[in-house]
Structure 1
Amino acid sequence: MDEMAKFEGLEARRSAFFTKPRAAVSLMFLLNGFMVGCWAPKIPEFAERLQLTKFELGLMILVFGVGSLVMMPFAGAQIAVRGSRVVVRAFAVLLLPMILALTLAPNVWTAAVALFLFGGFIGAMDVAMNANAVSVEKTMRRAIMSSCHAFWSLGGLLGSAIGGLLISRWGVLGHAEASTVLAVLFLIIAWPMVLGDQPHPDEAKPKARLPMIPLPWLLGIVALFCMVPEGAVLDWSALYLGQEKGASVALSGFGFAAFSATMATMRFAGDFVRDWLGAVRTLRVCTVFAIVGMMMAALAPNAEIAILGFALCGIGISNMVPIAFSAAGNIPGLQPGIGISVVTTLGYSGMLVAPSAIGFAAEHVGFSPVLMALPALLLVVLALSSLARYADGIGESEH
């Protein structure tokens, strides 16, 4: 009887671990990351087709970031009224044709509109799928957020890894068509399983008051300085490898692919690593990996060594942002939603907007010196790493 009870308990835990809503929200993260990954290897061709300088391409990428920052609050308001299932489905559908739109854009102005919408739909879907993941966590009574973000990285890996290969074999239009078909398949599978949650109109009210204590803002700086290098690898690694390291079209897409591969792997392992080392030590180890990886990529004598550097950087960046988000939700005396909203806004603004400044700087000095400067931001993260203790709930005992 004892053996039977153990077996039944194991089966119950296993069935609780694998649920349809969890599979659906994981697929939504995968789809979102896949679309971003498909964009990364297209950037060099996009710039060449529209005859953009590095500075002008930086402005175009800024348009992508502005689109996201404009649409994120709109998505939050819609979630409060309609629930996350409706919103995540709607923006996933709107996102599907955007790789084709960017491929077919005939001039700079239509490309700018397409990039604004692409960034907007990516950002809005990001908010909605994170909200849906929170609802799934509540129904399952277990944390799944880290693995959801791992699926986003996995999607980025898939999109960027196949992107360069498809472009070199089938051309940019063939790549756009194939990636769109794959994205549609992801959404069709996820669609009927997405968890239906109730709207929460009161949740937006506490966010109207900004916190007056410095702690959430300092954690926001941690997230910001972690996500600037991530945005740099996403938007500029393919161009850097192609223009300054002589990589082929197929090889240039593997910079972000290697970064995404190591990031996804370490995010799947993130909960175990944090339990083993603690949040503070995990953040410090990750930051050192990110610094070493970025310096290796910047000083690499060839594309292969640079790709290895980006892979090491992915190991580092992987769990830095989740730790910052987790710490923000455990600040004593502050509602979790307020702390997290400050940190996520600052963090995502860094990933979305800062790459345009990188493009401006690279126009004058090249990518290598710019990549060498990014570890200075990570040194600030290292200096603030003791704040990660709140991710372990230690801060509660201090009040």
Structure 2
Amino acid sequence: MPSINKQRVALSVFFFLSGFNFSSWASRIPTIKTSLDLNEAELGTVLLTLPVSSLIGLPLSGWLVSKLETRVPLTVAMIINAVCLSFIGFASDSDTFTLVIVLFLFALSLRVFNIAMNTQAITLQKQFSRKINGSFHGLWSTGGIIGVGFTTLLISLNVPIVPHLLTVSGLTILIVLVSYRHLLRNDLSASGNKLVLGKPDPYILYLGLLVFFAAVCEGGMFDWSGIYFQEVVKEEVFTAGYLIFMSFMALSRFVSDRIIDKIGMGTTYVMSSLLIFSGIGLSILYPSFWPAMVGFSLVGFGTASVVPMTYTLAGASPKYSPGIAISLVGTFGIIGMLAGPPIIGYLAHAFNLKVSFMAFALSGIMLIPISQLFFKLERGKLVTKE
């Protein structure tokens, strides 16, 4: 197999494992909530640990991808993340403070390997004549589907959280150690590796906001879809909503590259926005099994293409190297993904879970004006150059 294809396969394995591990954690949140006897606000406070950790990890992740080959922080951080995943299981049977400490380390390692992984993807994309970035994110979603499916099976068999997460952790470490040697090498950028402080770069700011609002929807759906189906839809198999959301997200990401080629990025952002808004609206207005399933499907299809599409644009930043640009834009995304769940928790505690889901609809509709501002900026630069 040619080296470039081996690199693509190895990186695909990391994307798959990332999705599998994250969904293994997220689909066990109802278990953790029950085990520690947390209400919605208390759960929201616990989940707030993740975006705080991510913010602290911004300078670390940016420095690592600018100083080292990305395969090094990618591999080390994913192994640490897998170990933290197993500790989450033990912490859920311990106390809230221990869980917060473990989640802090879990999110910090997630931050580092996510930036390194996406930087590798953008660099590898440049060696292919066709778009491949969407397929990487499709494998992330596929890993998520299999992860939640595996969790659903174990829950139905009454398997406790500790052996579940220990198994996932062990398999991840083994596969990472085997795949590491095939990752892309010598991918340090020669320029654009210095973070410039001062007035925000509009190019990065608009892309960051796009990823932020998409990630609020993703993160919130990951962490609260099971609870929504459990408490609002009253479905005993509470992972059903999460599973359908992840399935349609994966489907969309595997076809997103072709969709973008057909209708363009600008139209894709608008389409994604409308799908998210209508899917959430359907789930709120008709909170029964099939309407909620259709609604979550639309949300999954709508959110799917935003992050890979925006990371591709970030990799073409005129000011920063791909690693730094993706680290900056990824900061917005990780904060959105990890800040969305606690926000929903506070809103649910103050009002109710149905009302709190309106935050997702608002986040989805924000993709339209922000994407229009970004492409207006790009057209303005093009006219200036001409």
Q: Which structure 2 residue ranges, 5 or more long, are not aligned?
A: none
What's the counterpart of residue 151 of structure 1? 139
Which structure is higher in RCO with an 8 Å CA cutoff and minimum separation 6?
Answer: 2
**SS, match of residue 269 in structure 1:** helix
Q: Distance in 1 between matches of 2:135 and 2:199?
A: 29
What's the counterpart of residue 83 of structure 1? 69
Instruction: State yes or no: 1:183 paired with 2:172.
Output: yes
Alignment of 1:194-273 (within 5 A): 194-200=183-189, 203-205=192-194, 207-212=195-200, 214-248=202-236, 251-273=237-259
Q: Distance in 1 between matches of 2:156 and 2:163?
A: 10
Change (3 A) 1:63 1:94: same
What's the counterpart of residue 172 of structure 1? 161
Q: Identity over aligned residues, as a percent?
A: 28
Q: Distance in 2 between matches of 1:209 and 1:158?
A: 41
Larger Rg belongs to: 1
What's the counterpart of residue 295 of structure 2? 309
Q: Distance in 2 between matches of 1:160 and 1:44?
A: 13
TM-score, structure 1 normalization? 0.86
Residue 252 of structure 1 and its aligned partner are, at CA, apart by 1.4
Write the deviation string for residues 116-158 of structure 1: whole angstroms up to 9, x where unpaired: 1111111111011112223333455654322211111111111
Greater share of helix residues, 1 or 2?
1
TM-score, structure 2 normalization? 0.89
- Number of aligned positions between the proteins: 380
Instruction: State yes or no: 1:127 paired with 2:127.
Output: no
Instruction: State yes or no: 1:45 paired with 2:31.
Output: yes
What's the counterpart of residue 262 of structure 2? 276
Write the deviation string for residues 218-240 of structure 1: whole angstroms up to 9, x where unpaired: 33322222211111101111111
What's the counterpart of residue 161 of structure 1? 149
Residue 373 of structure 1 and its aligned partner are, at CA, apart by 3.7
Instruction: State yes or no: 1:398 paired with 2:383.
Output: yes
Native 8 Å contact 2:232 2:287 kept in 1:
no
Residue 211 of structure 1 and its aligned partner are, at CA, apart by 4.7
Native 8 Å contact 1:167 1:175 kept in 2:
no
Q: Which structure 1 residue ranges, 5 or more long, are not aligned?
A: 1-14
Q: Distance in 2 between matches of 1:96 and 1:373?
A: 31
Write the deviation string for residues 277-301 of structure 1: whole angstroms up to 9, x where unpaired: 1111111112111111111222333
Deviation larger for 32-41 or 345-354: 345-354
Native 8 Å contact 1:80 1:201 kept in 2:
no
Q: Distance in 2 between matches of 1:385 and 1:132?
A: 25
Residue 198 of structure 1 and its aligned partner are, at CA, apart by 4.8
